[in-house]
A and B are shown apart, each in its own frame.
Chain A
Amino acid sequence: MASRIQIPATKYPVERFTLANGLRVVLSPDRSAPVVGVAVVYDVGIRSEPEGRTGFAHLFEHLMFQGSENLEKLAHFRHVQGAGGSFNGSTHLDYTDYFEVLPAGALERALFLEADRMRGPRLTEENLRNQVDVVKEEIRVNVLNRPYGGFPWLKLPPVMFKTFPNAHDGYGSFEDLESATVEDAQGFFDRYYACGNAVLSVAGDFDVAEATALIEKHFGDVPSRPAPVLPAFDEPDLDGERRESYTDHIAPLPAVAAGYRVPDPIAAFDAYLPFSVLAEVLTDGDASRLVERLVQRDRSVTNIGGYLGFMGDEYQVRNPTALLLQAHMPPEGDAGKVLRTIDEELDRLAADGLKPGELERTQTRMAARLLQSTDEVLGRALPMAVLELQRGRPGLLNELPRLINEVTAEQIVAAAATLRPERRAVVEVTPGAGA
C-alpha cells in the first residue's frame, strides 16, 4: 500500500461572545458561497419532559413556528421562504434546534425572526389543537403506518433505561399529546426557553462586525432570564443483559438492535471518542468487520449499522448514551445467532487487535465524512451551536478529524472489550406482516 494520505482539517474561524442578557453567540464566517446559516438551540429536549407529557418537547417545537410577538401565524415560513431560504427545527434528547439557510442578504431578516420568537411565541388554543393534529400525522407517517417505525430509537431506550427521562417515548402518546394545554406550553417556555439557556450561531457569508451589530440590535432587548438547573439524567449501567421483543404488524422481516452504554460524551470525551471510531471499524462499508462477517460471509443479516447516540447525534448528546448496532435479517433470521456472532467478532477484535491499515483507513474515511458535512453552512452553524451549548467549545468541529485520527489501536481494542453481552440491551422485531 502507498504511504498514507494526509488527513486535512478545516480552519473555520470561530468567534464567541455573550450578550448582556446571557445569550451566547457563535459566529463562523466563510465567504466561499453567498449563503448564511442561522441556528438557535435551546438546552431542553425529550429528557426534560414531565411525566404525563410525553412528546411535549417536540410538540412545543411545532408551536414555536406558529407566530410570535410581531408575527402572525404562517409569517415565519413565508418570511424565510420569501427570502429564498429554507427552515426547519428538530427535537433531540438534550436540545431543540431551529434553523434557517438563506441567501446572504437575508441575514438580518433571519435574526429578526429568531429574536421575535425567543421573546415569546403566540400560544393559542387554536394553534395548539392544530399542531397536535399535525404531530399525530407525523407520528403516523413516521412510526405507525410504516414498517420498522421508531426502530430502534423509540424501541430500545425503554429496554435499556429505567428512569422516565431516558426511557420514555419522545414522540409521545396520543393521549398525552391530546391532553396538552396552552398553560403547559407557557410554563415550558417560561422555564426552558430563556435566552440564558440558548445559543445563537451564524455561519457563512457575513462580516463579523456587521453581524455582531445586527445581533445586538435584534437580540439585545430579549429579556434576561437565567437557565434552569440542568438535571443529571445518569443511571447505573446494566447489571445483566436485558432483552425484549415486539411484533411489528407491518414489517415483513425480522430485525434486531443492541445498545451498550458508553463513557460520558462530555465529561469523559477522551474515553468516548474511541467508541465513535469503533462503531465505524465494525460497520462502515463492505470492508468493515461486521458487514464482512454477517452480510457477506454468513448472510445472516441483510444490513447492519453501528453508531453512537439514539438519534445518531454522537457529538451532540449528553450522558447517558449508547453505542448501537442494528441489523435487518432475512426471512428465517435468528437474532440470537446474530448476537453471538457479534460477540465472537468483538472477542476476536479484543484478543487479536486490528489488522494493518484497518484503523487508518477507517479514520481517513471518517475525516472525509466530517469534512463533507461542514461544507454546508448548516453543517457548521448547527453543530457549533450545540458544541457551544453543551461544551463551550464550538471550535471542536475543526478539531474532530485530528482527534479521531489520534485514537490508537489500543484504545479501540479496549473499547471493544467493554461491549459484553451482560452489558447490553436488546430489542428484537418480530415480523407481523401477513399474520
Chain B
Amino acid sequence: MTKTLPDLIPDSELTLPPQAERKLPNGLIVIAIRRAAVPLVEVRLRVPFGRAPLAAATLLSQALFTGTGSMSMLDIAAELQAVGGSLGAGLDPDRLQISGNALADGLGRTLEILAGVLTDATYPGEEVVTERERLVDHIQVALSQPSHLARVALLKRMFVDHPYAVQTPSEAEVHAVEPEALRELHADRVRPDGSTLVLVGDIDPEQAIDVAEKMLGGWTGVARDGEIPPTPALRPGSLLLVDRPGSVQSSLRIALPALTRTDPDYAALALANLVFGGYFSSRWVENIREDKGYTYGSHSVVEHFAAGSALVAAADVATEVTGPALLETTYELGRIASLPPGEEELEQARRYALGTLRLGMSTQAGLASLASVYAGFGLRLGHLRDHSAALAAATREQVAAVAAKHLAPSRAVTVVLGDAAAIEDQLSTLTTVERGAQ
C-alpha cells in the first residue's frame, strides 16, 4: 500500500510583531517588541567593543556583575532573582553583550539594577581576582577541546594580523589584568552612545521604552571609536595540519569568502550554502554522514562580523577516514561551484530558509536575539521582509553564479586538527600540507 505525502498549506504573509524604537538623549537606542505569549521580558544590551584590549575585555565581561557602589555581587544576583531575573555578559570581537530575562512585571527593577552596573560597577579587588582565576581555568579547559583548538587555528589562518585573528586571550595575559584596568576600560568603553537595548516580551513597547529611559537616562558618556578595519581577503594555500597526538577524530575546518547580509547576492549565497552543507538535508551531510558514516555531523554557516563575513564549514571525522572525508568535501564544494543546483533541491533549501526564519521569530528569546544581531549591523526586524523576498526570488542561475565565486575549493582556507602521525599521509595524497605548531 502506498500513501502519498500530504501537500503543504502555503504560509500566511510574514507579519512583524508590534514594536517601537527611540534614541534616548544619552545616545542609547531602545527597541521594544511585543510578544505576549508568556509574561516575561527578554533583555539584550549590545555595547560596541571593537578593538578593546582582549584580556581586559574578556575579564570585564566575566566580572561586570561583581559589585556596584551600593550592591554586592550577591545583592545583584539576589535582587534579580526576586523579579525572576538573571543577567549575564558575553564578549565577541565586535561587542559586549548583556543578555537575560525577567518576569515582565520586573522589567523596571531589572533595568534599574542594570543601570547600577553600567554606571557604578566597582570591580572589587577580591571578586575580580576570583573571576580572573576562574577565567584562567576556563581558558585552560578550552585549550583541551578540539573544537576550540581548531577554531583558534582557523581564525589565525583567516585573519592573520587583523583584530579578529585572536579572540581568546592567553592565560598569562589574563593573569596580568588588574582590577584598575577593568575600571578604566569600563569608563572608556561601556557607554550608551552607539549601544542598543532590545526588549521583547509581554510589554507595551512605548511604555517599556519609557521605563528604559527613566532607568537608563543617567547612563552617559561618549563612546570611543571602536571601528574595525575591513577583514582581509582569505589567502588560500596549503592545508594547515595542527597536531593533536592521539586524537581519535580529526577536526576539519574550512573558511570560504562570503557576502554581508545586505549584499544583493546574499540570499543566493545563503541558498547555495544550504544546498552544499548548511542543513541536514544538504549534499555534504548526506554524503559524509548518511552515505559514508565518516562523521556524526557536518555543518557550514555564513558567519557575519561587523567588519566582514565568511563561510565556515566544520566536521569532526574519524581519524582513519580523514583523507577520504576531505576528498568528499572537496568534491561537494567543487560540484556546487561548477554545476547549477537541481530545481527541486533548490526549492527545498528555499523553503527551509523561509520556514526557519519564521521559527526563529516564534519566541521572545528568538526575536530578541535576532533584533539585537540585526541592530549590530544597523538593520531592523523589517529586514526580514526584504531578506524573505530575496530568498523567494533567487534563481538557479544566481545561486550557481554566487556559488562559483564563493564555494570554489580553490578559494578555501583549510585547517585540520588531528593526530598528525596518522593523517598526514592521507591528507598529503590530496593536497599540499603544511604543519602548524599547536
Chain A residues within 8 Å of B, Cβ to Cβ: 1-2, 4-8, 10, 30, 32-35, 69-70, 73-74, 77-79, 81-87, 101-106, 108-109, 111-112, 116, 129-138, 140-142, 144-148, 249-253, 284-288, 292, 295-296, 299, 302-303, 328, 330-331, 357-358, 360-362, 364-365, 367-368, 371-372, 374-377, 433
Contacts and interface: CB of A to CB of B under 8 A. Distances in A.
A33 B144 contact: no
Given A35-B358, A112-B3, A372-B40, A286 B77 contact: yes
B293 interface: yes
B38 interface: yes
B354 interface: yes
Interface in B3-40: 3, 5-12, 35-40
B102 A368 contact: yes
Contact of A137 (B80, B130, B316): B316
Residue among A303, A364, A367 with the most chain B CB within 10 A? A364
Contacts of A137: 249, 293-296, 316-318
B138 interface: yes
Given A105-B10, A145-B316, A1 B82 contact: yes
Interface in B266-299: 279-281, 286, 289-297
Contacts of B317: 137
Contact of B359 (A35, A77, A286, A296): A35
B429 interface: no
A10 B291 contact: no
A253 B145 CA distance: 13
B310 to A, nearest CB: 23
A8 B141 contact: no
A34 B358 contact: yes
B435 interface: no
B365 A32 contact: no
B38 A372 contact: yes
B395 interface: no
Contacts of A73: 290
A355 B80 CA distance: 16
Interface string B349-373: 0011011101101111100000000
A4 B79 CA distance: 11
Given A82-B281, A140-B248, A365 B359 contact: no
Interface string B417-430: 00000000000000
* The 8 A-B residue pairs with the shortest CB-CB distance in the complex, in nearest-first order: A84-B355, A133-B293, A368-B84, A105-B9, A33-B362, A287-B77, A286-B77, A82-B348
Contacts of B246: 249
Contacts of A374: 38
B309 interface: no
16 contacts: A69-B3, A70-B3, A84-B358, A85-B355, A101-B359, A136-B318, A137-B293, A137-B316, A144-B248, A253-B141, A328-B141, A361-B78, A365-B86, A367-B103, A371-B39, A372-B40
A148 B355 CA distance: 36
Given A286-B73, A299-B133, A375 B37 contact: yes
A312 B130 CA distance: 28
A288 B80 CA distance: 12
A109 B5 contact: yes
B85 interface: yes
B162 interface: no
B11 A103 contact: yes
Given A34-B11, A84-B355, A287-B81, 16 more contacts: A8-B39, A33-B363, A35-B362, A82-B348, A103-B355, A133-B318, A134-B289, A134-B296, A145-B146, A286-B76, A287-B75, A358-B78, A364-B103, A365-B80, A367-B84, A375-B363
Contacts of B40: 368, 371-372, 375
Contacts of B73: 286, 296
Nearest to A102: B355
A130 B291 contact: yes
A285 B316 contact: no
Contacts of B291: 130
B74 interface: yes
Nearest to B289: A134
A302 B65 contact: no
Nearest to B147: A146
Residue among B7, B296, B351 with the most chain A CB within 10 A? B296
Nearest to A71: B5
A360 B316 contact: no
Contacts of B12: 34, 104
Given A134-B293, A372-B365, A112 B5 contact: yes
B265 interface: no
A135 B297 CA distance: 10
A434 to B, nearest CB: 9
A38 to B, nearest CB: 13
Interface residues of B, number: 84
Interface string B141-153: 1011111000000
Contacts of B359: 35, 84-86, 101-103
A253 B133 CA distance: 13
A33 B366 CA distance: 12
Given A147-B141, A250-B144, A78 B348 contact: yes
B247 interface: yes
Contact of A285 (B81, B145, B365): B81
B162 to A, nearest CB: 29
Contact of A32 (B35, B84, B356): B35
A81 B279 CA distance: 8
Nearest to A434: B144
A148 B105 CA distance: 40
Contact of A33 (B37, B134, B352): B37
B195 interface: no
Contacts of A328: 137, 141
A252 B143 contact: yes
B372 to A, nearest CB: 16
Nearest to A85: B355
A253 B249 CA distance: 22
A308 to B, nearest CB: 19
Contacts of B101: 368, 372
A70 B134 CA distance: 54
Nearest to A329: B137
B82 A360 contact: yes
A101 B352 CA distance: 12
A375 B362 CA distance: 8
Nearest to B15: A34
Interface in B30-69: 35-40, 65
B178 interface: no
Contact of A365 (B11, B81, B147): B81
A116 B313 CA distance: 33
A132 B289 CA distance: 11
Contacts of B39: 8, 371
Contact of A330 (B7, B137, B295): B137
A245 to B, nearest CB: 18
A112 B10 CA distance: 17
Contacts of A140: 248-249, 296, 316, 318
Contacts of A136: 318
A365 B359 CA distance: 26
Contacts of A144: 248
Contacts of A147: 141, 144-145
B228 interface: no
Contacts of A142: 296
Interface in B77-100: 77-78, 80-86
B341 to A, nearest CB: 14
Contact of B6 (A78, A108, A284, A330): A108
Interface string B305-345: 00000000000111000000000000000000000000000
A10 B77 CA distance: 25
